[in-house]
């Protein structure tokens, strides 16, 4: 009995001991997720601090670079762009005109004409303005209109398009020119302005620094005037057109009253 009691007691105690040891391991295990989260939080905070330092360093480098550029530009004097804009303002201000910036995407000439037509449509009564706004062609429609007019007046435009040193007959070259005009973002110029003046039956007046305004479609002056300005140095890529509007209308929130410069 003694041995049996001793054995039973031993058998009773060992499971209890195992249970306490297991319980000890469970308590340690319960803390592991908390410790892991603390470590992760500390590591994330360290990463955030390093990232912030990198951002601050980059911002400082950008500021220093901008300062160097400004100093270099000041040492070089006014740029061609600044001088051109200054001369253009001197030309427009006495006429109480200003410049409305047009997107430089290859369609600037046509977008400028579109803006001028929208102003003219908005200058009438409320009903006329509503009807006119719906009928104003966009820049792509104006491209197609110019190409169509050139095709239908080939004899008038062909001398400015045909190149003897290029491949193709005169008719083929003209058709290729028109397809590029209406199907791509190729820049427009005086030829396209002349075609649009005739097709729209409007006078087109182009202001440029250092020269008097150039007008096209003078026979349609009584039907309204579309006013643009031409800049040679507006962008690094080259020439650009903007819309010319009465002062106070350059932000696009107000529309022209229909009056134009004399």
Buried/exposed code over 135-151 (b: 16+ C-beta within 10 A; e: otherwise):
ebbebeebbebbbebbb
Catalytic annotation present for 233? no
Catalytic residue among 107, 108, 115, 139: 108
CA torsion sign, 192 to 144 to 104 to 223?
positive
Give the residue among 227, 230, 262 at the shortest CA–CA distance from 245. 227
User: CB neighbours (10 Å) of residue 89?
Assistant: 13
Pseudo-torsion of CA 114, 230, 192, 143, nearest 10°? -30
Angle made by CA atoms 245, 180, 156, in degrees to the nearest 5:
75
Catalytic annotation present for 105? yes
Catalytic residue among 107, 139, 149, 240: 240
Tokens 């200054």 — which residue? 86
Give the tokens for residue 115. 């803006």
Catalytic residue among 26, 34, 105, 165: 105
Catalytic residue ranges: 105, 108, 240
């Amino acid at each position: 009995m003694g041995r049996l009691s001793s054995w039973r007691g031993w058998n009773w105690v060992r499971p209890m001991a195992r249970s306490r040891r297991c319980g000890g391991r469970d308590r340690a295990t319960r803390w592991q997720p908390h410790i892991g989260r603390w470590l992760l939080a500390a590591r994330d905070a360290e990463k955030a601090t390093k990232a912030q330092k990198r951002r601050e360093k980059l911002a400082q480098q950008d500021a220093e670079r901008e300062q160097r550029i400004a100093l270099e530009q000041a040492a070089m004097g006014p740029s061609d762009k600044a001088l051109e804009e200054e001369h253009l303002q001197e030309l427009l201000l006495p006429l109480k005109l200003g410049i409305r910036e047009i997107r430089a995407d290859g369609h600037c000439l046509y977008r400028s004409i579109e803006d001028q037509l929208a102003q003219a449509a908005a200058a009438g009564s409320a009903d006329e303005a509503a009807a006119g706004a719906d009928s104003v062609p966009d820049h792509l429609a104006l491209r197609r209109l110019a190409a169509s007019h050139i095709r239908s007046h080939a004899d008038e435009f062909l001398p400015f398009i045909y190149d003897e040193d290029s491949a193709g007959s005169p008719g083929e070259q003209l058709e290729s020119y028109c397809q590029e005009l209406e199907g791509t973002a190729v820049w427009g110029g005086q030829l396209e302005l002349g075609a649009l003046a005739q097709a729209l039956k409007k006078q087109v007046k182009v202001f440029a620094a250092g020269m008097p305004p150039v007008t096209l479609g003078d026979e349609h002056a009584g039907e309204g005037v579309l006013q643009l300005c031409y800049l040679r140095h507006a962008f690094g890529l080259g020439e650009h057109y903007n819309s010319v509007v009465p002062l106070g209308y350059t932000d696009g929130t107000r529309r022209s009253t229909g009056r134009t410069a004399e």
